Each structure stands twice: as structure tokens, then as C-alpha cells.
């Protein structure tokens, strides 16, 4: 038998109604006509591989299809109570058509439990009706009930968000509307329930996307947000929804593929709402229209898209398992799910997932809002998220706590968005966005000392060298920030970080606290200025140490070593010229200061490789006044073959007072005292350049660069490298 490949251009991954419609077609054809049928997604729509021709497929749905009996007698508006619209349910119950036999049987069974009730039951009575139906209903009815609600271990029902709260969304009952669409498609007075005239044309439009509009004035509900009627929906001020009856019938048939299974329902780490396949707690991030209110919605659901032909049994098995794993646990939130997808935690040949959130839009109406497509596949550097995942989660938790500063919510949102981007696309700029968000969030911790101490929040954990591979695109600020992050004060494990944060002097970064919250660290001098002023404060702090201590410990230097890369002279020239913004550098710097002290060798190797690929071999000259000052402000004691230039803190004080000429004059005297003959007898510069010169005194340079600077401003022979 020849198999045919049919492209259902009317079945697309978005909106959710169109996706579910594809599942409905696959399910019905497999269960009622061709059990060898296969379905898959390609070129933006659904494909069916079957022995049936296109005409035979249409004939099956029009003349042979037996609707699944969808009933919800526990809901008001379901058609089982006097005040409900009973037109459709009465028409089906009085029909003699064989294709509606099971529907009539299901209606009769439900009427036994609702007999004598004037309105829909509530509370314990409603739960009793649901439990009794599950216990007495035949197997072919339980599939629908498993999709619409799950009885938990506590005896209470839990409602998967895809079908609202038990088959209804507010006053909109899905089952009654399903029956109304069936009555519009089939003549229930006919003994064979033949299709109506409208049903033939609407089926072609539904499956093959033949041009034409629907003929039924009704809404698709949450499944198709674009069809919801309201203001500006039509040519006038308001419009009314016009839908295709087949779209609604097939999408609800497709919902039965998503029945909750015991495997998913009984998972130890799975939240109760995740009884539906691939359903997780919502996260207001990763999409443009996100707001904090979205965190309180009914949750999210991720729908798989696969490109290899799969039978209905295989697709059903995929949804039955309906889980993604992260670190051996089921993914519970949207961020977990995104990480799991990016790390190939979801297998079974799935190429991508369509993310939907059941969110309040258009007033208080819950709509299945498409939140983007996520391609399954490993992205580079994702293991880096393990280092900060716990920290980010604690920030998000604190942001939702009572009394949390409003700024916490803003930073938590920025972190969440950045993590989503790294999982979804993983570009260099995405990792940079996360890098900036980490630094900004850590800075926010110091601005809310009491709240941070009460919540037990701590600084960023140590970051490894691979972060730089993820964020580095050759930006000078990145190179400078990383070099500064590797500057090490021998007395402090965290180097310059102790000047930014109130840290205890321990290997594990911990905040210093007192009775009022976070204490102000004994070395902390930076309070959120731009990098130019912040680094200038650090240089002054090092220069104003007690003279006796400095003389013993540093032998006339700032006593700052570095194990990482040096700053390129070209970048120093750009910094002094103002081409590199102080605020830009400050965005790179906080997270760079959290790089672990063991990362220095790997960082040097990374930047050497970058320079070999992208930079000329020779360094550009720097302004003579900087070369003069920097040679007189050593970071480390000189070696035996280097000039013994003694550090004089007066140079830094003069720069802080914006007297460049005075600082240069002091530097010239220091060089002469060391036996060097300066080429400059005097040097000066604008007052506006003083703070940039002062901050640049902290930039780490290699010994080769320092010798180059000495040679450029003195006559004395300096050994070449």
C-alpha cells in the first residue's frame, strides 16, 4: 500500500489552537481509521503520512468520524442544568446516529449524578461528582477526565491549565461549546448524522488553509488569543468573533493527547500543577511583554515540535512522560525547563518547544499566549550557569518577599531575562547581558543592608575563567575589567573586591554584618561611582596606608600584584583620551572582581590568543605624562636589574587635587633619585585629565610594558626583553 504525505497548512505551531488541531487530526485518524499513520512538523506546519488520500481523509472526518464524548457535569453552563443552554446536548441525546452512540451514553451517565440538582454543585458536592464519575465511567470516558482534572493524593482535584478549571474558563464551558460546534457540523436529526453544507467548506479551510472565513459566531476561548472579540476587532469600534467549527472540534480532540499520567503525576519533585505534560511554574522572563503579574498566572506549558514521522502511540508516550530533567530532578520552573532543553535534557527526537503561558490578558481573561520557540540543543558555556544558578534563585526569591525593595524585582527580572537569552540563543551579547546583570544585582545588595542581612543574601560566588571566553568580544572595557579583577592585595583573598564590598577576609565570599545589617567594610571605599572615581579612591586608599607598614611590606610600592592579563597600552591611551567611558567600565567591573584567584593563567592565555588573532604585534605609544607618572608608581618591588624607583604618595595626592604638573614634578624627582635621567624637565596636563590619570595608576602592566614606559621617558639604558 502506498503511503501519501499530506501538508496540513492549516495546522501550525502557533496559536495553540492550531497546534492542538494537528494533534487532534493525528489522534482521530490513528484511532478510528489508519493505525499506521505518522505525523511530524516541517516548514512551519504539520504533515501526515498515511495510506489515505486527501479526499479520503476529508470523507472520514465528514462521514465516519465518531466524536469523543466530552462532558463536564460539574460545571455550570455545561448543559446539564435548567439555566444552561441545552440546545446542543438535547440534540445529541435525541439523535439516532450510530456515530453519536457513545456521546449519548456519556450524557445519560452524567445525568444520573446531576439528577435533582438545579445548579452546578460546589465544594465537596462537586468533588464527589468528579470522583464518582472516575470510578464508574468506562475507559473511553476516563481519557477526557484525565486530561481535564487529576485527583491528588489528598483527594482534592487539580486542574491542568490547558483546560481551565475543569473544562471551563470562567463562564465559558468547553464541552458545551464543543457540542454546539458538533451540532453545527452534523445533522443530528439524520440517522447517519451527515455533514451540513457548511461543514464541507469549513473542513477544507481548517485542514488545508483554503481561503475563507468561518461561519460560526463564537470564540475559541483561551486557545486562540487573536480570535477573541472586543474593541477594534472588526471594522467598527467593536467586533464579534467568527470561528471555524472544525478548528474548535479538532483542538479539543487534540487535548486528549495531553492526559495527565501517573508517571508525571506521582513524580516526587513535580509540582501539583505540573500534572499536565511539560507544564511548569511560570516565569515572567524571556519574552517582550513580561510583567511581574505574570508570575501569578496559571503556569506555562511547553509543546514539543518534532521533525521525524511519529505514530500517535509514540506521540502519546512522549506526552505521557511529559517531563524534562535538570540535575537528575524534574524541571519545576520555566528557567529549569529552559536549561534542561539547552542541555539536551529532553530527548525522544524533539527539535524544539513552543512555549505558552496561561496569562491574564484582555482584562481578566486567561489566554494561551505564545512566548517564543526554544530549539533543543546544547549551547556553549551553559555549564557556567551552574555557578550562579543558586545565587540567581535566591535573588528572585528575595525579590518576591514581603518588604523587598522595589529595585530587587527589577534586578531579578533582568537576571531572569539574561538567563533565558543564554539558554535560548547563547550569543556573546547574551552572556554579556547576564554579566552586567550579575554585577548590577550584587551592587544592589550593598544598597539594602538591613534587608540583605535579614534574608541572608551573599555576594556573587567565585567565577571561573571560562566566563571570559563567553563574554569577550574584544571590547577594551572587558580587558581592563578582567585585568583589574586579577590585581591581588597580598593581605586579602579577594583583591580589589574588598574595596567594593564589605567582605570578610575568607576564601568563601561572605558579607561582613553587624547588628544594623551589613557593616561598612574597613577597606571599602567605593560607593557606586563611575569607574574613574571608584578606581581613584582605591589608589588613594593604597597610597595613604601607614608609611611604616608600607615600607616594611611593599618596599616602596602599592603592594599590588597581579596574576592575570595586563592592560594593553592602546587601551590605556583610549582610557586617558576619554574614548572608554567610566560608567561603561563600571558595568564590566563588579562581576570581574568575582573571578577566582586561580583563573589568572587561563585568562592570560585567552587574551594572548585574542591579541594574536585580532591585534597588531606592537603597542601604540601612550601619553608621556602617563608614562612618567606610572613608572614612579610601582605596584610591586623592582627586581635587581630594574631601577629602584621609590613610591611617593604625594603623586597620588596631587592628582586627586587635580594638579597634574605638581604630580609630574614629584615623579621626575623620584626618577632622578633612582638614577634615571628623565627626558622631560616638566610635564603638565588639563585638570580634567587628573582623575583619569589617577585611576590609570591602578592598571596592571607587565614588566615588559613597564620597561617600555621607562625607555620612553628616560635616557638611562634599560635592558630590553
Whether residues 60 and 204 share a domain: the answer is yes
375-411 pLDDT per residue, tens: 887 788 988 998 998 999 999 999 988 889 999 999 9
* Three-state SS letters, 447-494: HCHHHHHHHCCCCCCCECCHHHHHHCCCCHHHHHHHHHHCEECCCCCC
Of residues 637 and 666, more confidence is placed in: 666
pLDDT of residue 555: 53
CB of 619 closer than 8 Å to CB of 708: yes
pLDDT, residue 543, reads: 83
Cis ω for the linkage preceding 266 (within 30 of 0): no
Reference 64, options 103, 36, 93, 98; nearest CA is: 98
Domain shared by 188 and 74, yes or no: yes
CA atoms within 13 A on the CB side of 113: 24
Q: Which of 110-124, 147-161, 334-348 has the highest mean pLDDT?
A: 110-124
Q: What is the mean pLDDT of residues 101-117?
A: 91
Confidence of residue 550 (pLDDT cuts 50, 70, 90): very low
Residue 528 has pLDDT above 90, yes or no: no
Q: In this model, does residue 202 exceed pLDDT 50?
A: yes
Report the range of poorest mean pLDDT among 71-75, 358-362, 373-377. 358-362
**Mean pLDDT, range 194-218, rounded to an integer:** 84
Cell reading at 720: 630590553
Q: What is the rounded CA–CA span in Å between residue 429 and residue 421?
A: 9
Q: State the pLDDT confidence band at 262, using cuts at 50, 70 and 90.
A: very low
Q: What pLDDT shows up at residue 271?
A: 44
The mean pLDDT of the chain is 85
In the predicted model, what is the mean pLDDT of residues 81-95? 93
Q: What value does the mean pLDDT take over residues 103-108?
A: 94
Check whether residue 61 and residue 199 sit in a common domain.
yes
Q: Which domain holds residue 31?
A: 1-65+195-237
The CA radius of gyration of the chain, in Å to the nearest whole number, is 35
Give the per-residue pLDDT at 101: 95
Identify the pLDDT of residue 176: 94
- Looking at per-residue pLDDT, the higher value among 2 and 60 belongs to 60
- The predicted structure's pLDDT at residue 8: 96
Query: Mapped to the 3 state alphabet, what secondary structure does 585-613 carry?
Result: HHHHHHHHCCECHHHHHHHHHHHHHHHHH
Residues 6 or more apart in contact with residue 63 via CB below 8 angstroms:
192, 194, 195
Short-list 463, 589, 487, 597, CA closest to 528: 589
Q: Using one digit for the tens of pLDDT, what is the confidence trace for 175-200? A: 999 999 999 999 999 999 999 989 99
Q: Given pLDDT bands bounded at 50, 70 and 90, which one contains residue 703?
A: confident
Do 184 and 196 form a contact (C-beta atoms < 8 A)?
A: yes
Number of domains in the chain: 5
Q: What are phi and psi of 408, to 5 degrees?
A: -65, -40
Q: Is residue 487 part of a domain?
A: no
Q: Can you tell me the mean pLDDT for 330-337?
A: 76
pLDDT score of 10 more than 50: yes
Q: What is the mean pLDDT of residues 223-245?
A: 67
Specify whether 145 is located in the same domain as 131.
Answer: yes
- Rounded Cα–Cα distance for residues 484 and 540 (Å): 16
pLDDT value of residue 522: 76
Nearest one of 581, 669, 575, 583 to 623, comparing CA atoms: 575
Share of the chain above pLDDT 90, in %: 48
| Cβ contact 107:114 at 8 Å | no
Alpha-helical regions (H) of 60-152: 87-94, 101-114, 123-136, 139-148
Q: Tell me the β-bridge partners of 6.
A: 48
User: What whole-number distance in Å separates Cα of residue 447 and Cα of residue 527?
Assistant: 9
Do residues 337 and 451 both lie within one domain? no
287 and 348 assigned to the same domain: yes
pLDDT for the residue 37: 97
Residue 222 lies in a domain: yes
424 and 277, same domain (yes or no): no
Residue 326 phi, psi dihedral angles, 5° rounding? -145, 115
* Same domain, yes or no: 321 and 426: no
Question: Is the model's pLDDT at 237 over the cut of 60?
Answer: no
Classify residue 7: in a domain, yes or no.
Answer: yes
How far is Cα 491 from Cα 563, in angstroms, rounded to an integer?
15
Where does 511-638 have alpha helices with state H? 531-543, 547-554, 569-576, 582-592, 600-614, 624-631
Domain presence at residue 577: no
pTM: 0.83
Instruction: Give the tens place of pLDDT for each residue, 578-629.
Output: 999 999 999 999 999 999 888 888 998 988 887 777 665 455 678 999 999 9
Both 60 and 209 in one domain: the answer is yes
553 — pLDDT class (breaks 50, 70, 90): very low
Q: Among 413, 436, 457, identify where a domain stops.
A: 457
76 and 7 fall within a common domain: no
Statement: residue 213 has pLDDT above 70? no
- Out of 405, 437, 457, pick the residue that ends a domain: 457
What is the model's pLDDT at position 263?
41
C-alpha grid cell, residue 506:
575568607
Whether residues 187 and 112 share a domain: the answer is yes
Can you tell me the distance from the alpha carbon of 636 to that of 560, in angstroms, rounded to the nearest whole number?
6
Q: Which residue has the cell 545565587?
A: 391
Nearest partner of 46 among 257, 340, 280, judged by Cα: 257
Nearest-5° Cα angle at 174, 356 to 301: 15
For residue 184, tell me if it sits in a domain. yes
253 in a structural domain: no
Q: Express each pLDDT in 413-463 by its tens digit.
A: 999 999 999 988 889 999 999 999 999 999 999 888 899 999 999 999 999
- Nearest 5°: CA angle at 438, between 301 and 479? 130
**Predicted local confidence at residue 275, as pLDDT:** 63
Q: Is the dihedral of CA 695, 698, 700, 704 positive or negative?
A: positive
160 band by pLDDT with thresholds 50, 70 and 90: confident
Residues 217-244 have a mean pLDDT of 68
Same domain membership, residue 292 and residue 398: no
State residue 526's pLDDT score: 85
Q: Which of 168, 178, 305, 319 is nearest to 258 (CA)?
A: 319
**Helix (H) / strand (E) containing 5:** strand 4-8
Q: Closest Cα to residue 69, out of 167, 160, 159, 158?
A: 167
Residue 559 lies in a domain: no
Kind and range of the H or E element at 316? helix 312-321
Amino acid at each position: 500500500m502506498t503511503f501519501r504525505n499530506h501538508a496540513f497548512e492549516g495546522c501550525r505551531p502557533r496559536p495553540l489552537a492550531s497546534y492542538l488541531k494537528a494533534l487532534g487530526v493525528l489522534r482521530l485518524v490513528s484511532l478510528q481509521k489508519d493505525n499506521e499513520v505518522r505525523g511530524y512538523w516541517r516548514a512551519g506546519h504539520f504533515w501526515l503520512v498515511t495510506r489515505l488520500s486527501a479526499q479520503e481523509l476529508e470523507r472520514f472526518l465528514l462521514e465516519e468520524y465518531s466524536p469523543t464524548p466530552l462532558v463536564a457535569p460539574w460545571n455550570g453552563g455545561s448543559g446539564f442544568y435548567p439555566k444552561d443552554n441545552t440546545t446542543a446536548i438535547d440534540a445529541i441525546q435525541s439523535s439516532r446516529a450510530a456515530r453519536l452512540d457513545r456521546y449519548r451514553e456519556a450524557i445519560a451517565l452524567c445525568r444520573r449524578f446531576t439528577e435533582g440538582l438545579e445548579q452546578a454543585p460546589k465544594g465537596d458536592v462537586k468533588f464527589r461528582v468528579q470522583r464518582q464519575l472516575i470510578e464508574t465511567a468506562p475507559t473511553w470516558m476516563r481519557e477526557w477526565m484525565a486530561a481535564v482534572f487529576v485527583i491528588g493524593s489528598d483527594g482534592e482535584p487539580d486542574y491542568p491549565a490547558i483546560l481551565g478549571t475543569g473544562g471551563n474558563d470562567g463562564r465559558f464551558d468547553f464541552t458545551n461549546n464543543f457540542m454546539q460546534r458538533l451540532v453545527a457540523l452534523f445533522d443530528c436529526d439524520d440517522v447517519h448524522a451527515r455533514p451540513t453544507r457548511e461543514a464541507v467548506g469549513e473542513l477544507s479551510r481548517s485542514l488545508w488553509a483554503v481561503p475563507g472565513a468561518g461561519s460560526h459566531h463564537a470564540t475559541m476561548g483561551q486557545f486562540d488569543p487573536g480570535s477573541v472579540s472586543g474593541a477594534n476587532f472588526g471594522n467598527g469600534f467593536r467586533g464579534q468573533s467568527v470561528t471555524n467549527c472544525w478548528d474548535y472540534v479538532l483542538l479539543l480532540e487534540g487535548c486528549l493527547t495531553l492526559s495527565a499520567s501517573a508517571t508525571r503525576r506521582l513524580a516526587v519533585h513535580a509540582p501539583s500543577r505540573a500534572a499536565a505534560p511539560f507544564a511548569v511554574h511560570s516565569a515572567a522572563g524571556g519574552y517582550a511583554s513580561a510583567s511581574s503579574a505574570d508570575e501569578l498566572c496559571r503556569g506555562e506549558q511547553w509543546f514539543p515540535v518534532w521533525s521525524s514521522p511519529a505514530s500517535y502511540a509514540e506521540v502519546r508516550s512522549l506526552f505521557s512522560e511529559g517531563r524534562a530533567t535538570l540535575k537528575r530532578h524534574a524541571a519545576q520552573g520555566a528557567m529549569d525547563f529552559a536549561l534542561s532543553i539547552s542541555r539536551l535534557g529532553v530527548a525522544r527526537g524533539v527539535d524544539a518547544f513552543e512555549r505558552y503561558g496561561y496569562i491574564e490578558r484582555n482584562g481578566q481573561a486567561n489566554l494561551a499566549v505564545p512566548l517564543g520557540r526554544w530549539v533543543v540543543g546544547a549551547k556553549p558555556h551553559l555549564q557556567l550557569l551552574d555557578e550562579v544558578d543558586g545565587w540567581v534563585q535566591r535573588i528572585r526569591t528575595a525579590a518576591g518577599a514581603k518588604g523587598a525593595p522595589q529595585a530587587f524585582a527589577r534586578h531579578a527580572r533582568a537576571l531572569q531575562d539574561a538567563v533565558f537569552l543564554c539558554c535560548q540563543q547563547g550569543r556573546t551579547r547574551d552572556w554579556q547581558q547576564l554579566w552586567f546583570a550579575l554585577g548590577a544585582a550584587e551592587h544592589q545588595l550593598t544598597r539594602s543592608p538591613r534587608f540583605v542581612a535579614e534574608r541572608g543574601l551573599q555576594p556573587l560566588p567565585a567565577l571561573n575563567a571560562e566566563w571570559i571566553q563567553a563574554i569577550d568580544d574584544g571590547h577594551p572595557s572587558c580587558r581592563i575589567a578582567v585585568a583589574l579583577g586579577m590585581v591581588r592585595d597580598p593581605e586579602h583573598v579577594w583583591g580589589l573586591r574588598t574595596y567594593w564590598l564589605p567582605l570578610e577576609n575568607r576564601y568563601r565570599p561572605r558579607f561582613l554584618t553587624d547588628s544594623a545589617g551589613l557593616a561598612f567594610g574597613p577597606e571599602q571605599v567605593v560607593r557606586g561611582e563611575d569607574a574613574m572615581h571608584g578606581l581613584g579612591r582605591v589608589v588613594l586608599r593604597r597610597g595613604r596606608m601607614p608609611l611604616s607598614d608600607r615600607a616594611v611590606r611593599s618596599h616602596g610600592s602599592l603592594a599590588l600584584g597581579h596574576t592575570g592579563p595586563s592592560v594593553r597600552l592602546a587601551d590605556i591611551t583610549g582610557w586617558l583620551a576619554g574614548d572608554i567611558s567610566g560608567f561603561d567600565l563600571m558595568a564590566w567591573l563588579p562581576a570581574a572582581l568575582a573571578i577566582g584567584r586561580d583563573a589568572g593563567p587561563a585568562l592570560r592565555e585567552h587574551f594572548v590568543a585574542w591579541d594574536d588573532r585580532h591585534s597588531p604585534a606592537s603597542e601604540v605609544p601612550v601619553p608621556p605624562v602617563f608614562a612618567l607618572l606610572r613608572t614612579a608608581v610601582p605596584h610591586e618591588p623592582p627586581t635587581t636589574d630594574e631601577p629602584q624607583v621609590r613610591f611617593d604618595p604625594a603623586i597620588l595626592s596631587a592628582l586627586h587635587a587635580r594638579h597634574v604638573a605638581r604630580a609630574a614634578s614629584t615623579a621626575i624627582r623620584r626618577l632622578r633619585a633612582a638614577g634615571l635621567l628623565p627626558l622631560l624637565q616638566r610635564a603638565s596636563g588639563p585638570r580634567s585629565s587628573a582623575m583619569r590619570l589617577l585611576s590609570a595608576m591602578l592598571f596592571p602592566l607587565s614588566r615588559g610594558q613597564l620597561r617600555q614606559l621607562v625607555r620612553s621617558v628616560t635616557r638611562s639604558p634599560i635592558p630590553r626583553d
